[in-house]
């Protein structure tokens, strides 16, 4: 998990430094914004990749993303902002919504195609041996 955060944050810091508003500049708010946006886009990429892993992964990614970036909810009323930045409520709401929207039918295992007829219920005749 730490490797994911480091691999998202370091390129944003390098690009901000190359653009002239990284560490050592008077105002680092642009660099902080770049780091936050790199985390948001990493969350979006995680959502896209997690579709195959199930709805739980998507819901947890949304909850974690909103907890890490509370500025994404800045236009909501104060009560909704407090409820949605916890991470738990948005994850639960997304999980419920996805369970309603996405059909989830259990996959039935494919039966192997038999090229030969093998009847295991028919017993073999006894082998006669030499009796001494």
At 76 the pLDDT is 82
pTM comes to 0.39
Of 9, 65, 4, nearest in space to 32 by CA: 9
Note whether 73 and 84 are within 8 A (CB). yes
At 105 the pLDDT is 65
At 119 the pLDDT is 56
pLDDT tens over the chain, length 132 residues: 667 778 878 888 888 888 887 777 778 888 888 888 888 888 777 766 766 566 777 777 777 777 777 777 788 888 888 787 777 788 888 888 877 887 666 667 777 665 555 555 666 677 776 555
- Three-state secondary structure call for residue 4: helix
At 58 the pLDDT is 74
At 29 the pLDDT is 82
Note whether 92 and 84 are within 8 A (CB). no
At 50 the pLDDT is 65
In the chain, the N- to C-terminal Cα span, in Å, equals: 74
Q: How many CA atoms lie within 13 A of 118 on its CB side?
A: 5
Nearest-angstrom CA–CA distance, 13 and 63: 25
């Amino acid at each position: 998990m730490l490797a994911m955060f480091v691999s998202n944050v370091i390129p944003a810091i390098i690009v901000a430094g190359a653009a002239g508003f990284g560490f050592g500049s008077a105002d680092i708010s642009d660099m902080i914004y770049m780091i936050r946006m790199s985390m948001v886009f990493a969350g979006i990429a995680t959502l896209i990749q997690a579709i195959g892993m199930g709805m739980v992964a998507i819901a947890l990614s949304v909850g974690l993303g909103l907890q890490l970036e509370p500025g994404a909810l800045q236009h909501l009323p104060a009560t909704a902002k407090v409820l949605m930045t916890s991470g738990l409520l948005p994850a639960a709401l997304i999980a419920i919504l996805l369970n309603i929207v996405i059909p989830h039918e259990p996959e039935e295992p494919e039966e192997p195609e038999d090229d030969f007829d093998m009847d295991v219920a028919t017993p073999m005749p006894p082998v006669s041996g030499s009796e001494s």
